[in-house]
Chain A
Amino acid sequence: MSDKTVLTDGENSRSSSSPAAPAELDGGWKQLARRFFRHRLAGAGLILFALLALMALFAPLIAPFDPYAIGRSYQPPSWTGGHLLGTDQSGRDVLSRLIYASRVSLSVGVGAVAIYVAIGTLVGAVAGYFGGWIDSLAMRATDVFMSFPYLMVILVMVSVLGPSLGNIILALGLLGWPSVARLIRGGVLSVKEKEYVKAGIALGYSTPRLLFLHILPNVLAPVLVNATFGIAVAIITEASLSFLGMGVQPPTASWGNMLIEAQSFSTLSGRPWLWVPPSCMIIIAVISINFMGDGLRDVMDPKGRR
C-alpha cells in the first residue's frame, strides 16, 4: 500500500513545476531499480553481497569443520589434510571460522544501520516538520554528535558497556543517526510546502499520517545511499574494534579478531594463511557494498553521473 503512495506522490511532485528538490526522485522506485541493474559495478556488488549473505545464512551447512573445535596448532593450508586454509593457534579451522565470521560482520552492518536510520528518520522528520525550537534543539544535537571523533567515542562506549556483538551494534546505532537526521530534515523542509501536503492538511489528515505516509516516502531516497555506505562503515568499524581487542571477543570468530594474531611478527611473516584470508574477506565485503552505494548514488542523481 505504501508503495502505491510513493508512486502517486512521485507523479504529483513531478507535475508541479517548482525546481526539483535534491531529495526528490524523478520517477518511481521501479525506474530506479531498472537504472540500478543497468549499472555494471552495482550489479557486481549486489551479486558479491548476496553471496556473502548466503554464506552467513548457511554457515553451518557450508563450513567444513566446527569453528570452535580445537586441534593441532598452526597447520599450514593443504588440499589433502582437510584444512583448506590451515589452522590457527588453537588448531581451529580457519576456513570455517572465516565463514562463521561473515555472520558477525553482516549483522553489525545491517543491525547498526537499521537502528540509526530509524532514529535519524524520526528525529529528522519531527525537526523538519515542526521547526522552531524543536528543530534548533535537534540540529544542535546533530552538531554535538558530528563533532565526536567517531571511533574514539565508540571505543569508550564499547569499553564501558562491555565488548560484545550486541553492544557494538548498539553503540554504532546510537552514534550514526545525525547524518540521516539532516538528510531527512532537509527533505521534509522542502516537501512540506508542496501542494499535496497542503491538500492533506485541508482534508484534515492527522499529523502522523501526513508526516509518515505522505511526506517521508518522498524524502527517503537519499537515505538509501547513506545507509548503504553506512553498512560498509559499520563493517570496517567492527573489524577495527575487534582487531583492537575491544570488539567481538574470542572464541566467537570475527574477521577483525582473527587478525589479532597478525600483530605478532612471527605470524605476520611466517603464517600468511592466518591473516590474508580475513583481510581479503573484509575488503571484499566493503568493496561490494561500496559498489552498490555508488550505483545507487548514480541512479538517484543522474546529473551527478560523469
Chain B
Amino acid sequence: MLNYLLRRILIAIPVLAGITLFNFLIINMAPGNPVEMFINPSMSQADIDLRKEQLGIDDPVFIQYFRWLGNMLQGDFGYSYSSYEPVAKVVGARIGPTLILMGSSLLLAYIIAVPIGILSARKQYSWLDYSATSFSFLGVSIPNFILGLGGIYLFALTWKLFPTGGMYTLGKEKTFGDLLHHLIMPALILATASAGSMVRYVRSSVLEVLGQDYLRTARAKGLSEFVVINKHALRNAMIPIITVVGLDVPLLFGGAVITEQVFGWPGMGQLMIQSIGSRDYPTLMAINLIAAVAVLAANLLTDIAYAAADPAIKYGKR
C-alpha cells in the first residue's frame, strides 16, 4: 500500500510539471503585455523600461518559466498585475468561499443521488425509476447558468425566498445562518450536474450487484431482506461510486466558475473572470495551478479510498 502510494505520488510529479508548463506557455502566447496597461502619457521611456525590468518580461520565455516555477515552490506566486498585492494573498482570500461552495455541492450531490440511485435500482422499471432517470438526464443536460438564471428568477425575484447572490447580506453581521441562506441556491444548482450523472452510476452499480449469486445465497440462508440489501449489496455497490468523486472535481471547478459568476459568489471562479478581464496573468496562473493541484489531489485520494474500501484490490505488485 505504502509502495503504491509512493509510486502514485511520483507519477503525479511529471503530470504537475506538464500542467505548469502548458499553463505558462498558453499565457505567454497572449498578445500585448501587462506593461501596456500601466502606461500613461506622463510616463517616460525610462519609467516603462524600469517597469518592464521589474516584471522581468523581457527575458526569454524558458527563463521566465523556471523563475516562476522556482518562486512558486517557495510559496511566492508573484504580484497581481491589477491590485499590486501578492497573488498568494489575493487568491488565498478566494479559496475558502470556493471550497465551501464546491464541498457543499459535492455533499448535496451524494445526499441526493445515492438514495435515489438505490431506490431506482431496487424498483427497476417502476414510475420512480423512470422519473429518477429522467431527472438525472435533465440534470446533465441543462447548463448551470440557465439553472442559475431560472433559480434567481423564481426563488429570488418572484418568490423572494433566497437572496439573488453574494455570500453574506451587506451591512449585516456575518452569521452562519446568513451564509447558509446564501449558499443553498448556488450549491444546489452546482450539484445538479454531478447528482445527475451520479444517479446513473449508483443505479447501474446497484443493479449489477443485485444480480450476483452471493445475494441469492444470502437470501437462501434466511437473512432478512434488510440485511441482504444494506449489508451485503450496498457495501459492494458503493465501491465504484468512490471513483466518481475523482472524475467530478474538474467538472465542479468549471461549474464553480459559472455559478460564482451568476450568483456573485466571491470565490476563485469569480476572481478568474475578473483576472481575465484585466489580463492579470500571475493571478490566472496561480488559480489554474491551484485547481490542477486540487484535481490531482482528488484523484490521489480517490485511488487511496478505493484501495481501502475494496479488499480485493492489491496495489503492491504490478
Contacts and interface: CB of A to CB of B under 8 A. Distances in A.
6 contacts: A149-B250, A150-B251, A151-B257, A156-B276, A243-B145, A244-B273
Interface stretch (B14-22, B64-72, B174-182): B14-22
Interface string B230-265: 000000000000000000001101110110011000
Contact of B158 (A246, A269, A287): A269
Contacts of A159: 30, 276
Contacts of A263: 262
A147 B137 contact: no
Interface string A62-105: 00000000000000000000000000000000000000000000
B141 A244 contact: no
The list of the 9 closest CB pairs from A to B, nearest first, reads A151-B254, A149-B253, A144-B18, A149-B291, A160-B30, A159-B276, A269-B157, A286-B141, A279-B146
Contacts of B153: 268-269, 272
Contact of B288 (A152, A246, A272, A287): A152
B254 A149 contact: yes
A203 B115 CA distance: 57
Interface in B140-174: 140-146, 149-150, 152-153, 157-158, 164
Interface in B291-316: 291-292, 294-296, 299
Contacts of B157: 265, 268-269
Contact of A153 (B29, B30, B146, B288): B288
B26 interface: yes
Interface of A: 140-141, 143-144, 146-153, 155-157, 159-162, 232, 236, 239-240, 243-244, 246, 259, 262-263, 265, 268-269, 272, 275, 279, 282-283, 286-287, 290, 294, 304, 306
Contact of B124 (A143, A149, A294, A306): A306
B82 interface: no
Contact of B18 (A141, A157, A286): A141
Which among B14, B141, B291 has the greatest number of chain A C-beta atoms within 10 A?
Answer: B141
Contacts of A286: 141-143
A155 B150 contact: no
Given A240-B144, A306-B124, A306-B204, A279 B292 contact: no
A236 B152 CA distance: 20
Interface residues of B, number: 53
B265 to A, nearest CB: 14
B141 A287 contact: yes
B280 to A, nearest CB: 11
A160 B137 CA distance: 34
A262 B143 CA distance: 15
Contacts of B142: 283, 286
A240 B145 contact: yes
B126 to A, nearest CB: 13
Nearest to A159: B276
Contacts of B19: 144, 147-148
Interface string B4-40: 0000000100110011001100110111000000000
A259 B146 CA distance: 9
Contacts of B22: 144, 148
B25 to A, nearest CB: 10
A152 B257 contact: yes
Given A240-B143, A306-B124, A148 B276 contact: no
A150 B249 CA distance: 10
B207 interface: yes
A160 B29 contact: yes
Contacts of A147: 15, 19, 250, 292, 295-296, 299
Given A150-B251, A156-B23, 12 more contacts: A147-B292, A148-B250, A151-B255, A152-B288, A156-B27, A244-B257, A268-B149, A269-B158, A272-B153, A279-B150, A290-B137, A306-B204
B287 interface: yes
A287 B143 CA distance: 11
Contact of B26 (A146, A157, A162, A243): A157
